[in-house]
Amino acid sequence: MEFLMSRMIVRPRDPDRSLAFYRDTLGLAIYREFPGGTVFFAGSGLIELSGQGDTGPGPDVALWLQVRDVASTARELADRGVPIERGPKEEPWGLREMWITDPDGLRIVLVEVPADHPMRRDHRPWPS
């Protein structure tokens, strides 16, 4: 089995409101548009808004987005009027995280990976 690409599909209750949030408030670049949907670049992944949902996201679902500097991201989002659910905090696993939600309540975890974190290290052995 081989997986070639991935994306998270979000079925917003109010498609226009969610489109404005992801495009204008978060500033995600558009990868592709089609009737009834928009796909955004999100780092090395994609987020697709398509269709319309009735119930919103489940409470155990979260979107993880890595940023360069979580403190400056928090300030920028606050300046844009985005409510910060939980401000930047260093977690026991060494990542700096903050939480916001999209218009339907989907939790978005914004993560900074510090320079000395193991996720930043290349664990491949050097060639001899």
Q: CATH number for the domain including 78?
A: 3.10.180.10
> Which structural domain, as residue segments, surrounds residue 92?
8-120
Q: Is residue 72 part of a domain?
A: yes
Q: Is residue 127 part of a domain?
A: no
C-alpha R_g of the chain: 16
Per the DSSP assignment, residues forming a β-bridge with 10 are: 49
| Strands of the 96-101 sheet, one edge to the other | 62-66, 107-112, 96-101, 86-90
**For the whole model, what pTM was predicted?**
0.86
Q: Is residue 128 part of a domain?
A: no
Q: What is the pLDDT of residue 123?
A: 67
Measured CA to CA, the distance from residue 66 to residue 81 in angstroms comes to 20
Measured CA to CA, the distance from residue 79 to residue 101 in angstroms comes to 16
Q: Is residue 2 part of a domain?
A: no
Q: Is residue 82 part of a domain?
A: yes
Q: Is residue 69 part of a domain?
A: yes
Q: Is residue 1 part of a domain?
A: no
Q: What is the pLDDT of residue 128?
A: 64
Q: Per-residue confidence of the chain (128 residues) as pLDDT tens digits?
A: 887 788 999 999 999 999 999 999 999 999 999 999 999 999 889 999 999 999 888 888 999 999 999 999 999 999 999 999 999 999 999 999 999 999 999 999 999 998 888 877 766 777 76
Total of domains in the chain: 1
Q: Is residue 3 part of a domain?
A: no
